[in-house]
Structure 1
Amino acid sequence: MPSKGTAQWKGDLKGGSGTFVAGDSIKGDYSFKSRFEDGPGANPEQLIGAAHAACFSMALSNMLAEAGTPPDSVDTEAVVTLQLVDGAPTITKIALTTVGRVPGLDEAGFAEHAKAAKEGCPVSKALAGVPEITLDASLAG
């Protein structure tokens, strides 16, 4: 199933602005300031983070259910770091933090499934060129 996103940029890099649409209903504005200076608005790295967190959570939930321990919930945050490398903006790190509510599963089992989900989810595979993708996985207390 193909998924679609569109974007439009108007103006030069620092003074211009853009809009994006992901799917049918996710819309936002972005600018140089929202991307490189922590200004208001969205940026592509936030969209990558949301996509990674969503894909990872789905993959992990599926793996847990297939192993006989379906989760009550899996909450994941993906923090995407954009830095200048040799003068070019580069995604250098993605830090995944996930917390699961999984009756009947211990921390070691959860961590094992989380590691497999990190390696196997389609978005993780698409982001394989990112130099560092970390994972912190724990069960909710």
Structure 2
Amino acid sequence: MGISRHAIAHWEGDVKTGQGHLSTPQSGLMDNTRYAFSSRFGDEKGTNPEELIAAAHAGCFTMALSAKLTDAGFPPRSLDTRADVDLSMDGGPQLSRIRLEVNAVVPGIDEAAFHALAEDAKQNCPVSRALSAVPVTLEAKFAS
């Protein structure tokens, strides 16, 4: 049996002047967080789908990398990942690129092993696999 999680989106009005709220009832992470056209395509405060995908991808990749490092005998001291998700308007809105950047402190590992495990995590975390139609790049930096 798998694990099921959910979020709820509510929207009122047309796409450009309307607004909505997102919530994750189980965790309360986004308890009625506002989203709108202006927070997606402009600078207004609120979230947007691309930011949420970036958060999900950063979290999933980081957990996958931690598991791979630990399984290889190098539990990380710390992993900090930034994910940037680009939305292109060419040919209609679409995700055009995701960039992952991880800064890690991993005692005892050599550079080649670290980069191999980071690349494996990038390719195989569940969110990466779900987003496989989008090119993903990885910049992995570490200190031992």
Q: Please give the TM-score of this superposition, normalised by the length of structure 2.
A: 0.92
How high is the sequence identity, in percent, across the aligned residues? 46
Deviation at 1:106, TM superposition (A): 2.1
| Corresponding residue to 2:9 among 7, 10, 16 | 7
Structure 2, unaligned runs of 5 or more? none
Partner of 2:99: 95
| Corresponding residue to 1:26 among 20, 25, 29 | 29
- Is the partner of 2:127 in helix, strand or coil? helix
CA distance in 1 between partners of 2:52 and 2:16 (Å)? 20
- Size of the alignment, in residue pairs? 139
Is 1:47–2:49 an aligned residue pair? Answer: no
CA distance in 2 between partners of 1:32 and 1:25 (Å)? 23
CA distance in 1 between partners of 2:7 and 2:72 (Å)? 34
- Is the partner of 1:33 in helix, strand or coil? helix
Partner of 2:89: 84
- Is the partner of 1:40 in helix, strand or coil? coil
Q: Which runs of 4+ in 1 moved over 6 A?
A: none
The answer as to whether partners of 2:102 and 2:139 remain within 8 angstroms in 1 is yes
Partner of 2:18: 16
Report the residue type matching 1:45 in the other structure.
E
Q: Which has the higher strand share?
A: 1
Report the residue type matching 2:21 in the other structure.
T
| Corresponding residue to 1:125 among 129, 134, 142 | 129
CA distance in 2 between partners of 1:140 and 1:103 (Å)? 8
Structure 1, unaligned runs of 5 or more? none
